[in-house]
Chain A
Amino acid sequence: MIEIVQATAVIEANSLCVNIKNNSILKSLNFRVEAGEIYALLGGNGAGKSTTLKTLLGFNAPSSGSVKVDGKEVINALNHVREKTAYLPESATLYTHLTARENVKYFLSLADIQKSDDEIDQAFDRVALQRNARDRHMQTYSKGMRQKTAIALALLREAPIFLLDEPTSGLDPVAIDEFNQLVRELASGGATILMVTHDVYGACQVADRIGLLRDGELVGEFSAPQNGQIETEQVHAAFAQRGAA
């Protein structure tokens, strides 16, 4: 059962429907993410995870229903929503002819944010990007290193809301642990985090709540117990039972 809590939500979808090229991708989707919460939207391929993220970022307009970020209708407050949001794409392909540092500086400049080299290095340290790689062209980077650079960029933006698209995809187990630790730190600092993923185990490790998405609808929600983790077996069973392949 989906429990509707009448508290202030940082991210909120109410009866959200999105049609793309006459295909109904999201069908009356309802979910809320509270401040400081880590929420994982879990679903298989074609469940509507990426469409949900794109709608939250204003790339898709709802065909009905509403989607709010920071209390504002996304479609009516795009600049505000994007300013408050740090987005981490699944495949963070930054500019390969620039170094990681140059990439970060370029993107920060786009957001009109000034950061010193020291601050950038601190962000790189937090994501454990090797020092000798930071001033190297990114064409030599592995997928994990590119992902770390993008995470560092998201950190440097100091946005209160993080939208993460398959954030641990391509990371090695150590990096995944480090990333999960980082996400928890962010949330404990007040950041609201919505991640979409098909990784049941990863979602259970880090999320406070998990929403199970199937064919554009939320078909179940799981909450972590106080000071504990959501049980992977329970989520996995629901994921498999409900046919979210």
Chain B
Amino acid sequence: MSYMFKQLSREWRFMLRQKYLLVLLGCAILISGFSVQSGLNEVAQQQQTIERLKAADVADRTDTQNKQDEIGMLAYYTFHLTYSPPSDLAFAALGERDIYPWKHRIKMLAIEGQIYESDTQNAELTQAGKIDFLFVISALSPLIVILLFHDLFANERSSGRHDLLVTTAKSPWALWGARGAIRFISLFLCLMLPFYVGAWVSGTSLVAVGLVSLCCFMYLAFWAILSVYWGKNANSGPKVASGLIGIWVLFAFITPILGDLAINKFVHSPKGGDIMLTQREAVNDAWDLPKEATMDAFTATYPEWKDHVAMQSMFEWKWYYAFQQVGDQIAAPISQEYRAASQKKYELAGYASLLSPPLLLQRVLTRLAETDAVAAHKYEQQVRAFHKTLRLYYYPFLFAQGEFDKGNLANLPSFDKFINKQHGVSDTDSAQTTNK
């Protein structure tokens, strides 16, 4: 039996005799287990919703295609489900999926309004968030670390044992090292075991599990080292705990709130509702504008149809869809401003997270789980890009080919096939997509 193992084994048995430590560790595993279960339920619910909507989407589209013969009517009444499925790590870090929409039903109308329609809903409801594993690790676990480590030295000093312990121990590692290590490893396992079970249930990759473990290890180690350092010369455990809880409040609440306030003060962003309003006003105004004005704006983006814009009657579907396109073009600057502001806020939040370890952990884990603002924006761009494929599919029938054969519906783009082909749409690509 190696020397180190002997020390750890002694401290393990010693810890098992301390009821308050066992209660703390029990709380840790319970809270972590609850949060993982809650995350798994939420992800399962999202997956079920997607599957249910996919089935309904196919049935609805088939029904519309059976009922409608005219291409313009088909384009108008056919909905397409777009969605962003939760990743296999999303159960641990639900992230921004509470705030950003992860599913849409879109059709051939102007896309910007359709994307941001839900931006005006449920803002207050989403503030509360959900208790996921990330919340437990980033916000609650520091408290457990503080409770476990704050009196590592102070309790021994106030009880009069410190000097006897130090002079008896063969080395500082034999005492403080082994005792701290056992507490740390026990807490780490109590917090992480439910995560490992969740990862196994979700089929999370070993690499992702390894990265999450590493991040959590470093984060918990930070709090443990801080707690030990803060209390190493102290005689009073409650004083140490008060100081550490103050630091926790500073890192977990005050810094993020101040950072958020500063970012929102310095980065001005239009609201999603403004984009929707701009686009809808443009579309509504188009009814009263000369048709040439709409068609000129349309062919500036799609010059290949400039020989097919002449109209034979007061209403034609190609004009209707042209002013939907123009509505997007008019809303494009404000939409881009919105996205640029979001990106800027995300970047600045990155700097703010350097001052707040909990925020930094949240940022890293939501990135790994693809549940952050970056993933949400990527999904939006996928929706725009998919919508563009719908336009590219319908425009030839609307502008050039006249009669529409329903046999062509076999080539109607589907979001499933689209995301299988296009993994990742860059901002540059999508900006061009929006302008078109």
Binding site for B on A (CB under 8 A): 54, 57, 59, 79, 82-83, 85, 87, 89-95, 97-98, 102, 106-107, 109-112, 150, 153, 157
Contact = CB atoms under 8 A, between A and B. Distances in A.
B163 A87 contact: yes
B200 interface: no
A57 B163 contact: yes
A83 B166 CA distance: 11
B164 A111 contact: no
Contacts of B19: 97
Interface residues of B, number: 21
Contacts of B159: 93
Given A57-B163, A106-B10, A106-B14, A112 B168 contact: no
A59 B157 CA distance: 13
Contact of B17 (A94, A97, A110, A111): A97
B170 A112 contact: yes
A89 B157 CA distance: 12
Contacts of A157: 168
Contacts of B10: 106, 109-110
A87 B6 contact: no
A180 B99 CA distance: 76
Contacts of B168: 82, 87, 107, 110-111, 153, 157
Contact of A87 (B167, B170, B171, B175): B167
B160 A109 contact: no
Contacts of B175: 110
A93 B160 contact: yes
Interface string B143-172: 000000000000000011101111111110
A93 B161 CA distance: 6
Interface of B: 3, 6, 10, 14, 17-19, 159-161, 163-171, 174-175
Contacts of B170: 79, 83, 110-112
Nearest to A88: B164
A169 to B, nearest CB: 12
Given A110-B168, A111-B168, A157-B168, A54 B163 contact: yes
Nearest to B3: A112
A237 B167 CA distance: 36
Contacts of B3: 112
A110 B163 contact: no
B6 A107 contact: no
Max chain A C-beta neighbours (<10 A), residue from B159, B160, B164, B166: B164
A112 B174 contact: yes
A43 to B, nearest CB: 19
Can you list the 7 inter-chain pairs with the closest CB atoms, starting with the nearest? Answer: A93-B160, A110-B169, A87-B167, A112-B170, A91-B160, A109-B10, A82-B167
A57 B167 contact: yes
Nearest to B161: A93
A38 B10 CA distance: 35
A89 B6 contact: no
Nearest to A85: B167
A54 B166 CA distance: 11
B412 to A, nearest CB: 73
Given A87-B168, A93-B161, 17 more contacts: A59-B166, A82-B166, A83-B170, A87-B164, A89-B163, A95-B161, A97-B19, A106-B10, A106-B14, A107-B165, A107-B168, A109-B6, A110-B10, A111-B168, A111-B170, A112-B170, A150-B164
